[in-house]
Structure 1
Amino acid sequence: MSRVLVVEDESAIAELISINLRHAGYEVTIAATSDQAQFEVDRVLPDLVVLDWMLPGQSGLALAKRWRSTARTRELPVIMLTARAEEADKIAGLDAGADDYLVKPFSTNELLARIRAVLRRKAPEALDALVDVGGLKLDPATRRVTRDDREVRIGPTEFRLLHFFMTHPERVHSRAQLLDRVWGDHVFIEERTVDVHVKRLREALEPVNCARMIETVRGAGYRLTQQVQALSN
């Protein structure tokens, strides 16, 4: 399930978008201000942001620029919503880092189609690109994991698990979600299996001081974080 953050100060519009996105199977969080939006992005990195241009305080345009200038949010997909229909405004929105641009009023069906298109465009990059989180590097092409040029010896299941964690950093994943996304439709695998492979993954990462990057979130599941990286060096 993809997580979408809707940043919109008009509550009626935010609620309408939210209802339609949830109906389409997305997990939705709403923020009414740029500060709230930044708080939500810092808390859990969404898969995509629907961002209104005009917000109380800092504008959506300034927020998009800030996200593009920060490593953690540089690749965060953003669809900008605005009442500004002039070509110069569209160009300014896209130059600020928006992946797409939708002028109000818009149909929710068009918004959903654009969300699907942006997520599709981003997905192949995540599958093939070299991933780097806190200095831990994973290369899907060569199936190598390294840190400071030291190679991590890792099994195929742990590699897939780490790849999923690293392409979805800072997010909490339940055991059921990990089974679905890493193991696929193997419905007979027990959730306990996830714990076993997480333990093996931590053991594999221990020699390069990255084991603590895999956090257990009590009652919820697991996440990969680089917040503890400074303590692990």
Structure 2
Amino acid sequence: MRPIAVLPSTAGHATAQMVFQVLIQQRLEYDVLSTAEFTRAQRANRASLVVALVRGLDIPAIELVRSLREQLVPTFLVAEELSETDEVTLLHSGVYDVVRASASPQLIGARLRTMFHHVHEGEPTRTPYQFANVTVRPDHHEVHVDDNVVPVTRTEFRLLVLLAQQPDQVVSKDVLAELLGDSRRMAPHAVESHVSRLRNKITAAGGPRLIESVRGVGYRLKANGNGNQPMVGSSSSPTVPHAER
């Protein structure tokens, strides 16, 4: 059994095809099963998480969510018709995450990838990310350049992990604004500010310019660490406490 089971449930063909393409782009292995097939599978052989595709918050969707919750299966729900109230209801019902089918494939992929790391690998990966002389430690919420800790804010750290999870792939400002906002969407200029401060802190500590701007689209983390090198004599950004956003 592959780590992800896709249950098309009541969603249409177009939604299913879109989700399959997202999973392929994210290089996440999956099996397509009916709800009955998934339920009949022995617990030891089941996928670690389910991507359920539904029309909206109707009786079949509610019954599906209840069944998966009873089986203690982490569920990512893609709904074709979803109001904000419906989204809140589903999240309170035990769904791990829920997203509208009309969202961009990039946003759906980023949220799926984040869930995969949390569920399948235990945390947003316990293994540190290594890029040139920069080490990102999700287990300790720390960023190191060589042996020195770089003081980053909580939002800057989350930004770096999101980019590190998809190295060499462009992540749009819209996706970052959606994922970094706590209770509401972050403004695009705020994303730019966080990226700029994070870059400055890493380069000032002796690291490379890891995060590359892609004009008019978003940002990309260079996996080989060979982005534009920091300018000699660049000044360090002021230390910011971890608790600050």
TM-score (norm 1): 0.50
User: Hey, which of these two has a bigger chunk of helix by percent?
Assistant: 1
TM-score (norm 2): 0.48
